[in-house]
Structure 1
């Protein structure tokens, strides 16, 4: 993939985020990470927490998470081995409620209330489709782009018509829009709303503090400067209004990991919200 006319290091940025998504998206990985969110556990203790996994399924999952640097295996003695989060896994956890927030707003509504963990898994499935991250990056950077130009950027060594299957999938998932054949593509409202999630994943994948997501060259949202008002010398100048305390992106989320396994239906406005991407 050759990224042209985009912010520097975009290709490496996309590769890091794609790799990060590949670490956590495989089935059960997020659930295992959440089960390990407390003190380190022995294998039997962890198996009891993820009892839906059949015999032989947990060990390879743990090995892959250890290889990815998200789970640490500590051998205290030959008969005492525990598993727990690495610092990298702990730093990743604040991304999960951000994904839930996006899913609640933009994924199509299911017939039944879904636990937050399923919201996360459904959202990750959309983001890990082939070429999805690269296409979303380009659409965000270019605003509108034709399929041919998009193919030249995302898959320059392939026939340009190969861009259409992943593009159509993103449209079907509700992350991209187009007005019809031959018309340019652009991010949908749901796709644009992924900015905080993708920016935070980018910061995490690069080993930066999560609050750096606000300054991401593509997905960051710099504060717009307010237009100065005319000032008359005779008018009194009021003191600055008190602002609510800001919450940093990297701060501890106001939720407990156990909350991701249950779901309370939140009150919603009566106005209809367009359906976003489909469930798996």
Structure 2
């Protein structure tokens, strides 16, 4: 039996580092959060995630699909109807990213106060 590789995200050559970059990207966090409630079409995602450009949303969706975190389904109608939804792997991120989102909401006041204090000094 082959032994599992020893992954080390602190090593620059380790693929886990690129995965952490993907997961830590702000657009990834927002796309995964937006899809938590179920499948969405591109335009609905773009409306939900204010400020994301068409280019960044498209790149993020493609990267998440490539990494197996979401599934793109094309329905054969005219015009084509495309939906995006989290895969099982992508859904496993929800507790982690949900905790990060909750932390940001719960702590933004303290962070803003710290920034004000830093900027005054």
For the residues of structure 2 that align with 1:17 and 1:43, how far apart are their CA atoms? Answer: 28
Shift of 1:77: 1.4
For the residues of structure 1 that align with 2:46 and 2:103, how far apart are their CA atoms? Answer: 30
Quote the residue 2:89 is aligned against.
Answer: 88
**In 1, are the aligned partners of 2:70 and 2:85 still within 8 Å (CA)?**
yes
Quote the residue 1:72 is aligned against.
Answer: 71
TM-score for the superposition, normalised by structure 2: 0.67
1:11 and 2:12 matched: no
SS at match of 1:11: coil
**Structure of greater relative contact order (alpha carbons < 8 Å, 6+ residues apart):** 1
Greater helix percent: which structure?
A: 2
For the residues of structure 1 that align with 2:66 and 2:113, how far apart are their CA atoms? Answer: 36
**In 1, are the aligned partners of 2:41 and 2:82 still within 8 Å (CA)?**
yes
Quote the residue 1:32 is aligned against.
Answer: 31
Shift of 1:99: 4.2
TM-score for the superposition, normalised by structure 1: 0.32
Shift of 1:100: 6.0
Structure 2 stretches lacking a partner, 5+ long: 115-121
| Residue deviations 1:114-157 (CA, integer Å, cap 9, x gap) | xxxxxxxxxxxxxxxxxxxxxxxxxxxxxxxxxxxxxxxxxxxx
Greater strand percent: which structure?
A: 2
For the residues of structure 2 that align with 1:55 and 1:97, how far apart are their CA atoms? Answer: 24
**In 2, are the aligned partners of 1:66 and 1:73 still within 8 Å (CA)?**
yes
Structure 1 vs Structure 2 CA RMSD: 3.1
Task: Report which of the two structures shows the higher radius of gyration computed on alpha carbons.
Answer: 1
Quote the residue 2:111 is aligned against.
Answer: 110
| Residue deviations 1:180-238 (CA, integer Å, cap 9, x gap) | xxxxxxxxxxxxxxxxxxxxxxxxxxxxxxxxxxxxxxxxxxxxxxxxxxxxxxxxxxx
